[in-house]
Amino acid sequence: MSGKIQIENLSKVFGENESEKVVALDGVTAEIPEGSFVSLIGPSGCGKTTLLRCIAGLETPTDGTVTVDGEKVTKPGSDRGFAFQQANLFPWLSIKDNISFGLRARGIYRQRKDDVQKFINLVGLKGFEKSFPHQLSGGMNQRASLARALVGHPKILLLDEPLGALDAFTRMTMQDELLRIRHENSMTMVMVTHDVDEAVYLSDYIIVMTPRPAKVEKIIKIEMSHPRARSQDVFLQYRTEILKILNYAGKINEVEYSI
């Protein structure tokens, strides 16, 4: 399994009329090594999700290219799994049927049906196969969403803030789950996040992006082994470096009240 992503001079403009045009991406170039965990971080609305959707083949670039293992991305493919910010499970289907939905749509469920249970077990949902989404917590639904993205054995897993709506403790548990899943499946992972600590905790590389129109401000290699302690000096140094790039380090906004 490979999964090398090459992004070359990628631009994306929304809107047809000149007055309505919005430049989301402007000449983004980056290389994502196979088997790495990469986080995209930057100001809200800067184009991180648009970049992720271009890698997925869900958006067509206005200019530039995305290639996976040398093949140009022109449409979605089974080599790229996508986990959305919301779990987006079908409420009328059981957890097992939600996870197997993509396999059925591709007509390969019979050949892969054993994988459905494998990934249910992998994300910790054994015993909840017959449950429906409304019967489970947000964290459990996100686990099901991950299993659905994984069951097709993608080379690349694309994650659009999948942990953003979870409480702090569930979020940290799911971060460890992502690391375990990556270790056991040897895949490339690319995640959009606004959480600097999360990016440092999970990533091999962090791509820091500018405000819209998004360009690559800096690519930071995180040279720490796993497991990582959030209280380590080196962890805090990376955190401070990223916050400085984002102009948040030590910044105190003036307000009209005091406590």
User: In the chain, what are the domain boundaries?
Assistant: 5-79+154-245
pLDDT for res 199: 96
> 3.30.930.10, 3.40.50.300, 1.10.10.10, 3.40.190.290: which CATH number matches 5-79+154-245?
3.40.50.300
Per-residue pLDDT of the chain (259 residues; tens, 9 = 90+): 689 999 999 999 998 777 788 999 999 999 999 999 999 999 888 899 999 999 999 999 999 999 999 999 999 998 999 988 888 899 999 999 999 998 998 888 888 888 899 889 888 899 999 999 999 988 889 889 888 988 888 999 999 988 877 788 878 888 898 898 888 888 999 999 999 999 999 999 999 999 988 899 999 999 999 889 999 999 999 999 999 998 865 554 555 665 6
Q: What is the pLDDT of residue 184?
A: 83
Written as one string, the DSSP assignment of the chain is ----EEEEEEEEEE-SSGGG-EEEEEEEEEEE-TT-EEEEE-STTSSHHHHHHHHHTSS--SEEEEEETTEEP-S--TTEEEE-SS----TTS-HHHHHHHHHHHTT-HHHHHHHHHHHHHHTT-TT-TT--GGGS-HHHHHHHHHHHHHTT--SEEEEESTTTTS-HHHHHHHHHHHHHHHHHHT-EEEEE-S-HHHHHHH-SEEEEEPSSSB-EEEEEE---PSS--TTSHHHHHHHHHHHHHTT-TT-----S---
Q: What is the pTM of this model?
A: 0.88
108-161: pLDDT as tens digits: 888 888 889 988 988 889 999 999 999 998 888 988 988 898 888 899 999 998
